[in-house]
Structure 1
Amino acid sequence: DCTTELKFMVLLKKDRGSEQNHINVKISDIDVDLYPEDHGVIVKVNEMEISNDNLPYKDPSGSIKIDRKGKGVSLYAPSHGLQEVYFDKYSWKIKVVDWMKGQTCGLCGKADGENRQEYRTPSGRLTKSSASFAHSWVLPSDSCRDASECLMKLESVKLEKQVIVDDRESKCYSVEPVLRCLPGC
């Protein structure tokens, strides 16, 4: 959600050990974690695990519903802008309600059906490659000590080429920050 209200946020994280995806959905003051296990998906709402026997689950306000769907789990929160967030061991899919189309950003783009300008970075710049687009949305870590975080950061990089501008040698730096490993990692 890229509106001023910021009704929801969906974060995707790849586990380093298992190479499997984990999803975190933030809606209002509710934090939902979805991650795979041997026989399905584990669901946690505000750090409390919801067993498969307790699905479907509805939050106290009734605006968020979580239920089994096929081999995975779906979260529904249409009043918050999320039609469905589906997650299973091998895939994930996010659908927004019609009134949110064109008001989203991130890896899913604007969700407006237009695909020529989908590669917008957080700064609003349009990139040409899918790799630089994806890297621009990585949330970097502050240190190498937390193994659960990405051990990378975005920084401007000095380019090897030197140019002369107004009869003076100048150093060139990347226009967009580049994803780099943290020192010591």
Structure 2
Amino acid sequence: MKPPVLLFVVFFGSLLLGGECNDQKLTKITAGHHVKKRAAGDFKVGIAWDTCQSSRIGVNIFEINAPTVAILVTIIDDKSNAKIADGQELGGTGGTTISDSFPVPSSNRDYEVQWTDKSDQTNSGAVTLHKCVSISATGRRDPHMRTFSGLRYNFQGYCSYTLVKDCRTGSPSFNIFADFRGRQNPTKPPTRMVSVTIEIGGADTYTFLEDHSVLVNDRLVESRNITIGDDKGSIQADEDSVVLYFKEAGLSLEWTGKDHEALVTIDTDDLAGRLCGLFGDGSRVQGDDLVKSDGRRTTNTTEFAESWVVPGSCPHDLKTPLTRTRTRA
């Protein structure tokens, strides 16, 4: 139950305008940008890693203004020059996105991906898709924290704290926070994470409890396979863990209740240096991790972590029980 990724490129005619666009995603391309012109109409071609784990390259034809479209796809191993796919056809009718993915030997190497318009072979494109890269951070047990850059520290809080959120300008696309509580006494160390919550798009919330129950907007959901919004992602739960995948951010959140462990993995460079919270900024530079919620730097991990407390979440602030109620949906 591991996540898909996002290295993305879009083509114009026979030329690549976007280069290797690691910081763009299919859902963020706007009409009229990097349009591939053809006599029968316009369309766009996107190439991305499907998932690092499955070692598949995804090819999409989208925003099609033609009755039909077909392209021929060739994938070449950049190291051995071996052809993985050789002129495989991808096509269909207009008015929808046409997608397929092609297996490759490993996601840890570069590939040249070529495509040619079947109806007009003078229109084509090619790009080098670089190896798939991901970053991960984790908090576990009482709690031991490891940031995206590998900085390790311990933190004995007993409120709720932001683990990581999208800190780009405007409303965050996601915000993940965890409830820290003491083992014997809720307000005394040693503490541990007892639940983790992700807010998506400033709207819906998804909470995972110690027994792997799933709450959607604070209501218990019986299903173990949940679709997020309008196909924005998915949640899969079993006796071992709960895994959420959020497509827009190329993000997965894995919660293991018995170990009180939250593992966050992000499979795109789009968010590098643009994250914030207890897991750092995602820049892979440890010196950039300890930035408080007010934007100031510190070398004190406790001061840093306490700055990321969720307002109103500490026991003396709460007017309701510390554990979340599980109202059935």
Q: Same fold by TM-score, threshold 0.5 exceeded? A: yes
Q: Is the 8 A contact 1:141 1:149 kept in 2?
A: no
Q: Which of 41, 61, 66 pairs up with 2:235?
A: 66
Q: Say whether 1:146 aligns with 2:318.
A: yes
* Letter of the 1:21 counterpart: V
Aligned residue-pair number: 144
Q: Which of 153, 173, 176 pairs up with 1:7?
A: 173
Using the TM superposition, give the Cα deviation of residue 145 of structure 1 relative to its aligned residue in structure 2, in angstroms: 5.7
Q: Is the 8 A contact 1:65 1:77 kept in 2?
A: yes
> Which residue is equivalent to 1:116?
287
Q: Is the 8 A contact 1:15 1:22 kept in 2?
A: no
Deviates more, 1:112-121 or 1:139-148: 139-148
Q: Which of 76, 86, 97 pairs up with 2:267?
A: 97
Query: Which one has the largest radius of gyration?
Result: 2
SS in 1 for 2:306: helix
Unpaired runs of 5+ residues, structure 2, are 1-165, 323-329
Q: Which has the higher contact order (CA 8 A, sep 6+)?
A: 2
Once residues 22 and 75 of structure 1 are traced to their aligned partners in structure 2, the CA distance between those partners, rounded to angstroms, is 14
Q: Say whether 1:31 aligns with 2:205.
A: yes
Using the TM superposition, give the Cα deviation of residue 148 of structure 1 relative to its aligned residue in structure 2, in angstroms: 5.4
TM normalised by structure 1 equals 0.68
SS in 2 for 1:116: helix
Q: Is the 8 A contact 2:224 2:238 kept in 1?
A: no
Taking a change above 3 Å as real, the CA distance of residues 15 and 83 of structure 1, as seen in their structure-2 partners, is same
Runs of 4+ in 1 over 6 A off after TM superposition: none
Using the TM superposition, give the Cα deviation of residue 128 of structure 1 relative to its aligned residue in structure 2, in angstroms: 0.8
Once residues 14 and 73 of structure 1 are traced to their aligned partners in structure 2, the CA distance between those partners, rounded to angstroms, is 18
Unpaired runs of 5+ residues, structure 1, are 151-185
RMSD of Structure 2 on Structure 1 (CA): 2.6
* Letter of the 1:10 counterpart: I
Using the TM superposition, give the Cα deviation of residue 93 of structure 1 relative to its aligned residue in structure 2, in angstroms: 0.9
Determine what percentage of the aligned residue pairs are the same residue. Answer: 18
Using the TM superposition, give the Cα deviation of residue 70 of structure 1 relative to its aligned residue in structure 2, in angstroms: 7.2
